[in-house]
Amino acid sequence: MRRIALVCSAAVLAACAPRQEEPPPPEPPAAPTLNLADLAGTWNVVVVVEPSDTVRSTLVATADPMTWVLNLPNRPPMTPRVMVDADSVMLDYGPFESVLRPGVQVSTHQVARLVGGMLVGTIVAHYQTAGADSVAYGRFEGTRTP
């Protein structure tokens, strides 16, 4: 009987003892921040707009976002609006005359990351047509010239 009383008393004491709080889980590592200087150079870019239209261009990037230049074939150079967020760079162009749809104005939004030394990302093109705008989606890859 004493043994039962002793076991019950120990159980009650254990239940009433203050609990030790577990430490919070560790914070996930922060995404690496992209530095525009990491992208400085000349990039040969291939854009594929769904389903299979291809546009080739040259992008000249610097540490200063105000001096970036996109060169499309047979076009004057264009300056994008450049923004960085964490590990991504966003480039906005336009409106300008579309390479794929002559006579139609287009504005594009690109999001890219530096992956294995390549500039890899997506593009959304908004075409201004009579009536509603049309939208095309694509992807692109850029390789830095030596």
CB 47 within 8 Å of CB 55: yes
CB 101 within 8 Å of CB 107: no
Average pLDDT, the chain: 87
Q: Residue ranges per domain, the chain?
A: 36-144
Mean pLDDT of 114-139: 91
Rounded-to-integer distance, Cα 128 and Cα 112, Å: 24
CB 132 within 8 Å of CB 146: no
**Alpha helix segments (H runs only) across the chain:** 2-16
Q: Work out the pLDDT band at 65, boundaries 50, 70, 90.
A: very high
**Running DSSP on this structure, what letter comes out for residue 65?**
G
Residue 56: pLDDT over 70:
yes
Confidence at residue 50, expressed as pLDDT on a 0 to 100 scale: 85
Confidence at residue 5, expressed as pLDDT on a 0 to 100 scale: 53
Q: Global pTM?
A: 0.75
Long-range CB pairs of 27-30 (<8 Å, 24+ gap) are none
pLDDT digits (tens, 9 = 90+) for 11-46: 555 555 566 788 888 887 766 688 999 999 999 999
Confidence at residue 106, expressed as pLDDT on a 0 to 100 scale: 95
Angle at 112 between CA 60 and CA 136, to 5 degrees: 100
Closest residue by Cα to residue 79 from 97, 63, 59, 98: 59
Sequence-ordered list of residues with C-beta below 8 angstroms from that of 73, at least 6 positions apart, any chain: 56, 57, 99
Looking at the chain, the whole-number percentage of residues with pLDDT higher than 90 is: 70
Confidence at residue 146, expressed as pLDDT on a 0 to 100 scale: 86
Looking at the chain, the whole-number percentage of residues with pLDDT higher than 70 is: 85
Q: Work out the pLDDT band at 117, boundaries 50, 70, 90.
A: very high
Give the range among 10-14, 71-75, 84-88 with minimum mean pLDDT.
Answer: 10-14
Residue 60: pLDDT over 80:
yes
Third-level CATH fold of 36-144: Lipocalin (2.40.128)
